Amino acid sequence: MDIIRVEGGHRLHGSVHVSGAKNSALKLMAATLLAPGKTILENVPNISDVHVMGKVLKRLGATIDVVDEHSLAIDTTNVHSWEAPYELVAKMRASTAVMGPLLGRCGRAKIAMPGGCNLGARKIDMHILGLEALGVTFDTDHGYIYADATGGMRGTTVTLEFASVGATENLIMASVRAKGATVIDNAAREPEIVDLANMLNEMGAKIVGAGSPVVQIEGVDELHPVTHRVIGDRIEAGTFIVAGALQADDDGIEVNGFNANHLGMVIKKFELMGIQIDRLGGGVRVHRAERIKPVDIQTLPFPGFPTDMQAQAMVLSALAEGTSVITENIFENRFMFASELVRMGADIRIESHHAMIHGVPGFSGAQVVSPDLRGGAALVVAGLVADGRTEVSAIHHIDRGYEHFVEKLVHFGAHVERVNVPDPLDD
């Protein structure tokens, strides 16, 4: 099995350019189903989740040509199927994003119940309730969801119980082909949703208000292919910001290729912790914190503190001079990461959806297991500042969302390597 081995204590320097946003690229790939023809997506991250979404589209009948490492030409002219198979959806929850486009393109969809990181229930009830309001009928059987809109979808007002990113995206992609106007109230406001709406508008959709709590969509008869560039990955950027805050040399490190406004609350909280972050034209410069101050954080939908940055923030809090509290409001299982950080010497107590973190002077290298995508990356970052060697296993989770993660850290001057070792379970 592959592991990531980290030798702690080496200062970081230089700059890195983050990849395209995973959470945007996957939905943009799904959206290509709405426009028969060849759409070109640029700045697509070369990660395993993108590969899985590519397989989903191919099973539906699309063809995908790799223009270069970060550009895909997706031709959906001959899409003939409306079924997203179990073996692919079970690998990645974002595969459910094809539901809205398939309803808009084919009038029906058959989607396996979703998988992905083990972060809790993450049900898709809101997707179903919203689409039902548009006139879609649903049936579930043997682990599949059958959605039928052959009678046509009609615009209406949909109020989401929670500002769900996935539900907002599926509703937008379905309603661009509905008859009349649709209003999504309490819509998610994430930058990735704005990116999706921008591409759909370039394709001929009529969407107003993306990035605000109220999104209005006027249905159109058809959409056309476009060339679109994926926004930079704010979560990858945030992960490297934490690495810089812990181990940057006297000049700091630069993290480029993203919009710093997309990390507004993260930067605000980190500055309260005593970290100096200078905004640049296309990124930030991060300086190492001589001392880290405790701060309380609660995860919330954008523009709040993102749940995808919670584990990385916990690494900082675990080294703060005092006690911090992190409250997880999005995914109930996200604190699985904490027990692995405790193996490295952190002092963390979990009570329900609260983590009480008492700062310690430092971490000790240890063998730890990546519990999920962001937690795995955070453990590698913790290893950068730990005493001795840290070995992180189950790194397939990290591969889902970080492109060339080890190589980028090495470029910073970190002593990190990816090695293949015998699986102890094979003994």
> Any binding-site annotation on 418?
no
Tell me how far apart the alpha carbons of residues 79 and 32 are, in angstroms, rounded to a whole number.
11
DSSP assignment string, 288-351 = --SS-----EEB-STTSB-GGGHHHHHHHHTTSSSEEEEE--S-TTTTHHHHHHHHTT-EEEEE
pTM: 0.94
Establish whether the linkage from the previous residue to 294 is cis, with ω within 30° of 0.
no
Three-class secondary structure of residue 44 per DSSP: coil
Location of structure tokens 């790939």 = 29
pLDDT along the chain (427 residues), means of 10: 96 97 97 97 96 94 95 97 84 81 94 55 75 93 87 95 93 97 98 98 98 98 97 98 97 98 98 97 95 97 96 98 95 83 97 95 97 96 98 96 97 96 73
DSSP assignment string, 73-107 = EEE-TT----EE-HHHHTT-GGGGGGHHHHHHHHS
Q: What letters, b where the CB count within 10 A reaches 16 and e where it falls short, cover 268-303? A: ebbeebbbbbeeeeebbbbbbbeebbbbebbbebbe
Packing angle, helices 234-247 and 310-317, rounded to 10:
10
Select from 253, 311, 247, 267 the least CA-distant residue to 17: 253
- Other residues' Cβ atoms within 10 Å of the Cβ of residue 422: 8
> 404: exposed, middle or buried (C-beta count within 10 Å: 0-12, 13-18, 19+)?
middle
Tell me how far apart the alpha carbons of residues 193 and 227 are, in angstroms, rounded to a whole number.
17
Packing angle, helices 191-202 and 22-31, rounded to 10:
30
**Which amino acid belongs to residue 361?**
P
Q: 2-19+232-420 in CATH: which number?
A: 3.65.10.10
**Which amino acid belongs to residue 312?**
Q
Tell me how far apart the alpha carbons of residues 190 and 197 are, in angstroms, rounded to a whole number.
11
Which residue out of 102, 117, 149, 165 is catalytically annotated?
A: 117
> Any binding-site annotation on 22?
yes
Confidence (pLDDT) at 117: 39
Confidence (pLDDT) at 427: 59
Sheet containing strand 2-7, strands side by side: 367-369, 389-393, 2-7, 415-420
Tell me how far apart the alpha carbons of residues 17 and 256 are, in angstroms, rounded to a whole number.
5
- The CATH fold of domain 22-229: UDP-n-acetylglucosamine1-carboxyvinyl-transferase; Chain (3.65.10)
Catalytic residue check, 117: yes
In this structure, the chain runs to a length of: 427
> Any binding-site annotation on 206?
no
CATH 3.65.10.10 segments of the chain = 2-19+232-420, 22-229
Confidence (pLDDT) at 183: 98
Three-class secondary structure of residue 286 per DSSP: strand
CB 218 within 8 A of CB 261: no
Confidence (pLDDT) at 123: 64
Tell me how far apart the alpha carbons of residues 357 and 69 are, in angstroms, rounded to a whole number.
41
Confidence (pLDDT) at 332: 67
Location of structure tokens 């296309």 = 282
Tell me how far apart the alpha carbons of residues 344 and 327 are, in angstroms, rounded to a whole number.
21
Location of structure tokens 């973190």 = 357
